Amino acid sequence: MFSAPRQPRRPPLPARRRSVLGLVLAATLLAAAPAPAPAAQRPHRAKAAVEAAAGPAYGGSATVLAFASEVAERRQLPREWLVMQLAQARRVEAVRQLVMPPPAGTAKNWAAYRARFVEPRRIQAGLAFWRSNERSLQQAQARWGVPPEIVVAIVGVETFYGRVTGSFRTLDALATLGFDFPPGRSDRSAYFRSELEEFFVLCAREGQDPQAVRGSFAGALGLPQFMPGSLNRYAVDGDGDGHIDLLNSSADAVASVAHFLASFGWERGLATHFAVSVPADAADRAALLAPDIRPSFTAAQFAERGALLDEAGRAHGGPLALVELQNGDRPPSHVAGTQNFYTVTRYNQSSYYALAVIELAQALAEAQQRAPGQAPQWPANTLPSPVNRHPRAGV
């Protein structure tokens, strides 16, 4: 999740936190070796492979030293601590490769994308996560209006409920993309430098060793894969322990996902999408597709262009977007997305991602209703009917 719009930075840290930073700096300077990482972050094969492929360190670079000075002044962090951490950051070529877009001409395929996420093992794991965190999910729904199945589905799509949270050192990943962003696509180095800055703020506030934190190749962290900036702005202490830990506290993860969606416009009780038949006329179809995933048309304007909504869609009073998903060489799928569909795309700016989350959520809710408290046991390749075959109102 590294595509959400940036928000204004928080004000400088209060004096109490600055004193904590001094202790962090002193401990770092005096320690002979960094503290051991938590069990979830201890070395394993993938981690060892990433480290073996790490390139040169960034210590001594004029650009990096200037960055450290700017961050120290802007965020009231000890410059010596920042320089020390950055000196140990290394360029990772795998990160530069993974951030590149797919080769030109690669056909998108919604059916294949969906099958990666809406499948029996993920549904069963999702129901287990739901049972284990039912109280937190109910509290999040009561406070922010986001249904439990949507929160559970996002965690499932992002990390398979903590099974795949990333093996890259976050410091290396963000430094690589901030100072050595690869050519061949739109330059986002400024964004990743800002996320590196937010990462240092996060580590200082939570007392974490920047050398030990691991996540995705893009720097996303924890069960819900928040970028550091989103974590600093939207993450919530769901378990009330005074800290935010999106890797080890599922209560924090649940509350943070719900708060993020609410902050980006989630509307309580609103469907995510409706069934729609696209206009036969190419010009009308193109006009409705022009705004992409941003809701821009009324139900009446859909009808004027020849788009046929289902009954619930025709009764909807808010704006809609005609969302198109390619199916390789087969005809594309379409839905009429509401504000809530658009809100899910603020987590990841992809209609494929949003509909995968929504359909996994729908499968989870249906399974939960059939057998509350028990994970269903489906035969292989047997799943609830997908929306792209039998469209109906979203969750």
Compute the distance between CA of residue 393 and CA of residue 96 in angstroms, rounded to an integer.
Answer: 40
DSSP string, 239-299: T-SSS--TTT-HHHHHHHHHHHHHHTT--TT--SEE-EE--SSHHHHHHHHTTTTS--B-H
φ, ψ of residue 347 in degrees (nearest 5): -75, -40
**Phi, psi for 155 (deg, rounded to 5):** -65, -35
State the angle between helix axes of 351-370 and 339-347 in degrees (0 to 180), rounded to the nearest 10.
Answer: 110
Distance CA 168, CA 149 (A): 29
Tens of pLDDT along 231-282? 999 999 999 999 999 999 999 999 999 999 999 999 999 999 999 999 999 9
Altogether, the residues listed in the chain come to a count of: 395
Beta strands in 300-348 (DSSP E): 308-309, 321-327, 330-337
Structure tokens at 96: 């530069």
| pLDDT per position as a tens digit, 189-237 | 999 999 999 999 999 999 999 999 999 999 999 999 999 999 999 999 9
Concatenating the DSSP letter of every residue in 138-174 gives HHHHHHH---HHHHHHHHHHHHTTTT----EEHHHHH
Question: Which pLDDT belongs to residue 210?
Answer: 98
Q: Is 195 in contact with 187 (CB distance < 8 Å)?
A: no
Class of domain 15-102+166-220: mainly alpha
Q: Cβ contacts of residue 11 below 8 Å, gap of 6+?
A: none
The set of catalytic residues is 158
How many CB atoms sit inside 10 A of residue 261's CB? 23
Give whole-number Cα distances, 306 to 303, 324, 335, in Å.
Answer: 5, 16, 14
Q: How far apart are CA 261 and CA 282, in angstroms?
A: 34
| Burial letters 114-125, b for 16+ CB under 10 A, else e | beebbebebbbb
H/E segment holding residue 208:
none
Reduced to 3 states (helix: H, G, I; strand: E, B; else coil), residue 181 is coil
- Identify the three-state secondary structure at position 19: helix
Measured CA to CA, the distance from residue 174 to residue 321 in angstroms comes to 34
Structure token digits, residue 236: 């919530």
Q: pLDDT value at position 376?
A: 42
Please give the C-alpha separations between residue 15 and each of 9, 21, 80, 236, 244, in angstroms, as whole numbers. 18, 10, 18, 22, 20
Alpha helices in 180-236 (DSSP H): 189-206, 228-234
3-state secondary structure of 320: strand
Question: Helix or strand or coil: residue 28?
Answer: helix
Radius of gyration of the chain (CA): 22
pLDDT given at position 375: 43
Question: pTM of the full predicted structure?
Answer: 0.82
**Residuewise pLDDT in 10s, the chain (395 residues):** 644 333 333 334 444 344 444 444 443 433 333 333 333 333 444 555 555 456 778 887 899 999 999 999 999 999 999 999 999 999 999 999 999 988 877 889 999 999 999 999 999 999 999 999 999 999 999 999 999 999 999 999 999 999 999 999 999 999 999 999 999 889 999 999 999 999 999 999 999 999 999 999 999 999 999 999 999 999 999 999 999 999 999 999 999 999 999 999 999 999 999 999 999 999 999 999 999 999 999 999 999 999 999 999 999 999 999 999 999 999 999 999 999 999 999 999 999 999 999 999 999 999 998 866 554 443 333 333 333 322 222 22
Query: Per-domain residue ranges for the chain?
Result: 15-102+166-220
CA distances to 182, 208, 388, 394 from 205, in Å? 31, 8, 45, 39
Element (H, E) at 5: none
Using a 10 angstrom Cβ sphere, with 0-12 exposed, 13-18 middle and 19 or more buried, the burial of residue 306 is: middle
Span between the terminal Cα atoms of the chain, in Å: 22
Token representation of residue 355: 């509909």
Nearest Cα neighbor of 119 from 368, 311, 316, 363 is 363
